[in-house]
Amino acid sequence: MTKSTHAPLAPMPPERLLELDNVGVHFPTRDGLVRAVNGVSYHVNRGEVLGIVGESGSGKSVTARSIMRLQPKTALDASGTIRFRRASGEEVLISAQDRQSRTMRQLRGGEIGMVFQEPMTALSPVHTIGTQIIRTVMLHRKVSKAEARAQAIALLTRVQMPRPNDIVDRFPHHLSGGMRQRAMIALALACDPALLIADEPTTALDVTTEAQILELLKSLQQELNMAIVFITHNFGVVADIADRVAVMYLGRVVETGTVDEIFYEPKHPYTQALLQSIPRLGKSHGRRLRTISGMVPDPYNVPTGCSFHPRCLHGVRGVCDVKTPEDVVFASGQRARCHFAGEVAISEAAQ
Amino acid sequence: MLGYIVRRLMWAIPTLAFVSFISFVIIQLPPGDFVTAYVAQLRNGGEYITDMQEALLREDYGLNDPLLVQYWRWISNILFYGDFGRSLEWNAPVSELIWERLALTLVLSTISLVFTWIIAIPVGVYSATRQYSAFDYIFTVFGFLGKGIPDFLLALILMWVAFIWMNLDVGGLVSPQFEGKPWDFDKIVNMLSHIWIPLVVLATGGAAGLIRVMRANMLDELRKPYVETAYAQGFGERTVVWRYPVRVALNPFISTVGWALPALFSGDVITAVVLNLPTTGPLLLQALKMQDMYLAGSFILILSVFTVIGTVLSDILLALSDPRIRFS
């Protein structure tokens, strides 16, 4: 693998918590190689919320699972490095770790927590909420069962679970979807992780509950000063919670920037098109909603050159369909993977 | 929980009354009765029996009474005196006949059931967690072979192998020279050289099927998101697999463990006949063939009592292990 061919990596800046560089995850299938993640780079600083936006199949969840080394067993680590700064300050090269290594098992649940999409099925149906939290606490901390239980109740209180003393002995099927997601968050926060990976945590919830869970995550993030990688396909949610945003398309990050940059000055045509396809109250009166033409290409036949070019309004024949674009870096730190980044019209996106 | 158990037990009573009556009626259904079969046997043996004598026999046994009277005579003796009646063929109390064979039946069936579970559960879990690995394929082949070969055929093959190549004396529980002798060390050694064949036959037959069930259950559970959650909490693979999906995948087993109770009692009839084992299975078969109505009826009654108790036990166990069942 790439480990041996690497030049020694320059140390990460001190504020950096997580850094992904050119990560590739491929799946060999009967019909060919699927490059689900094809050179993804992003980073997360301490206490920062990074929103990752993309359509289904853009590779956002697979990338997140690579951070935990929990990608499907058929996956191949094709390229790149993933680094994480531990609480002790030392850097771990996660991408070189074995799936079941001691370090990874300490990181999971101990320093990196994860919240999943399906609160209905992501908790064990045959154990109480308390048991599941207590086991995690006792795995990572040297505490007695009574202390772990007290901590479980404290965690449930912290996630604003109603009647935490009662809920701790309840099974997941006694809880509503929103309460289960609160329990799931309590579980992920069991050992005060420095990083929380939230993989579409509100997608399966109704809008009211979604707003409550987002509010909870935001207040917890500030209270605990923890970093969050927030994966979603919903731009509205990203605007609400994220500090910075990475937009993914077909296994690549096509644009990164602060929330303001992404929403008011998107540089990549894909980001612009996505923003224009969001219905807005008051603005869209009498106007037809724009859509992105075409379909997401099937993963076996990714277009040559810029993979977005067949659907791009600004595609230039001879350039976009031939050359794979490099990241264009702007002075503010915003990056866009487009040959014409910064040149294409922003048009209505700023609205 | 207690109320649930009491309710379940109350419901068992009408079920048992109904089943006992039905089983008694079914035994009477075929044309003829015990005397017909008995007389036919005697005549084949060369004895001369007049029709008069036959009618007298029938009167003696109370076979001319109406069905309900016969049923009441039978069931009231069981309920009030614990008397299961006399076997007409063996001319001995039914309870004596059954008890004599019950110990061996229970020992054999229990050991084979325990072996079945000890083999099937770990192998099923391994096959599921290492799906499509070399060992998974090997266990799959073994599973289908074990399921496909009838138990009695396997018993015959093993007997042949033991007799020809291992020079063991096979069939029965002990060799003829130990028959009727008190139990001592030599007799126990001799029994062990006999008893491995039924154990292997019963355990492989059962395990083959259970491996497939366990593997399928596990494959379903391993794909569920809570397994990923458990990994994300930092547990190692073995802890995750055995604490979470195995717990859930065992529930279908637990819900059928009660059926093992009647199976333990009746044993595997055909295997027992082939191996000439003094268990209860062949006794039941013989009783049905001879229309030995009190013996057969008692057998069926005990089987159904065991079935009902087993089902109640299963339900209680399942409620204990799966919280989702408990209150609905």
pLDDT in tens, A267-281: 898 998 888 888 776
- The pLDDT score that the predictor gives to residue A104 is 94
Report the alpha-carbon distance of residue A194 to residue B156 in Å, rounded: 66
Minimum CA–CA partner of B229 in chain A: A122
Rounded mean pLDDT, A147-174: 94
Beta pairing, strands A112-115 & A335-336: unpaired
Out of B78, B93, B108, a domain closes at: B93
Within a domain: A13: no
Count of structural domains within chain A: 1
DSSP label at A322?
T
Exposed / middle / buried, residue A7 (Cβ in 10 Å: 0-12, 13-18, 19+): exposed
Chain A contact probe: residue of B222, B226, B235, B324 with most A CBs at under 10 A: B226
In this structure, are B83 and B107 located in the same domain?
A: no
- In this structure, are B103 and B81 located in the same domain? no
The verdict on B18 and B164 lying in the same domain is no
Facing residues of A291 across strands? none
| Domain carrying residue B59 | 2-93
Give residues with Cβ within 8 angstroms of B185, minimum separation 6: none
- Amino acid identity of residue A34, one-letter, is V
Burial class (CB in 10 A: 0-12, 13-18, 19+), A223: exposed
Tell me: do B193 and B283 sit in the same domain: yes
CA contacts within 13 A on the Cβ side of B171: 8
pLDDT band at A1 (very low <50, low <70, confident <90, very high): very low
In a domain, A280, yes or no: no
To which H or E segment does residue B147 belong? helix B134-148
B229 neighbourhood in chain A, CB within 8 Å: 114, 116, 122-124, 184, 187
The angle at the Cα of A145, spanning A140 to A150, to the nearest 5 degrees, equals 90
Take residue A170 and report the two structure tokens written for it: 């309840």
For position B180, what pLDDT does the model report? 75
Q: DSSP for A265-319?
A: S--SHHHHHHHHTS--TTTSTT-PPP---S-PPPTTSPPSSSTTGGG-TT--TTT
CATH number for the domain that contains residue B125: 1.10.3720.10
- How many domains does chain B contain in total? 2
Which domain covers residue A144, as residue numbers?
A: 112-190
Tell me the three state secondary structure of residue B242.
Answer: helix
Domain's final residue, options B93, B122, B150:
B93
User: Does one domain contain both B104 and B54?
Assistant: no
Q: What's the confidence (pLDDT) of residue B267?
A: 65
Residue B297's CB: how many other CB atoms inside 10 A?
26
pLDDT at B80 over 50: yes
User: What pLDDT is attached to residue A2?
Assistant: 42
User: What ipTM was predicted for this assembly?
Assistant: 0.88
- Asked if A122 lies within 8 A of B225 by C-beta distance, the reply is yes
Q: Which H/E stretch holds residue A246?
A: strand A244-249
pLDDT of residue B16: 85
**Are residues B146 and B45 part of one domain?**
no
CA A280 from centroid of its chain's CA atoms: 25
Q: Are residues B226 and B268 in the same domain?
A: yes
Interface test with B, best of A124, A133, A231 (most B CBs within 10 A): A124
Q: pLDDT for A26-65, tens place per residue?
A: 999 888 888 899 889 999 999 999 999 988 888 899 999 9
Using a CB–CB cut-off of 8 Å, the residues of B that contact A are: 224-226, 228-237, 244, 247-248, 321-324
Is the residue at A134 inside a domain? yes
Question: Hey, is B178 helix, strand or coil?
Answer: helix
Same domain, B107 and B192: yes
Domain-located, residue A177: yes
- Measured CA to CA, the distance from residue B323 to residue B321 in angstroms comes to 6
Decide which of B66, B93, B120 is a domain's last residue.
B93
Least confident of A118-127, B48-57, B142-151, B263-272: B263-272
| Cβ–Cβ below 8 Å for B321 and A109 | no
Structural domain includes residue A310: no
Beta strands in chain A (DSSP E): 16-29, 32-45, 49-54, 76-85, 91-93, 112-115, 195-199, 227-232, 244-249, 252-258, 328-329, 335-336
Same structural domain for residues B189 and B256? yes
| B72/B102 same-domain check | no
* Tens digit of each residue's pLDDT (9 = 90 or more) over B191-221: 888 888 888 888 888 888 889 899 999 999 9
What residue has token string 């391993």?
B222
Nearest CA-CA partner of A125 in B128, B244, B235, B215: B244
Write out the two tokens for B54.
């036959």
**Largest alpha-carbon pair distance within chain B?**
85
Backbone angles phi, psi at A100, to 5 degrees: -105, 20
Asked if residue A123 belongs to a domain, the reply is yes
Determine, yes or no, domain membership for A271: no
B167 and B188 fall within a common domain: yes
Q: How far is CA A267 from CA A258, A304, A349, in A?
A: 12, 21, 10
Q: How far is CA A223 from the centre of its chain?
A: 21
pLDDT category at A189 given cuts 50, 70, 90 is very high
Distance (Å, rounded) from C-alpha A77 to C-alpha A65? 12
Assess whether B79 and B101 both reside in one domain.
no
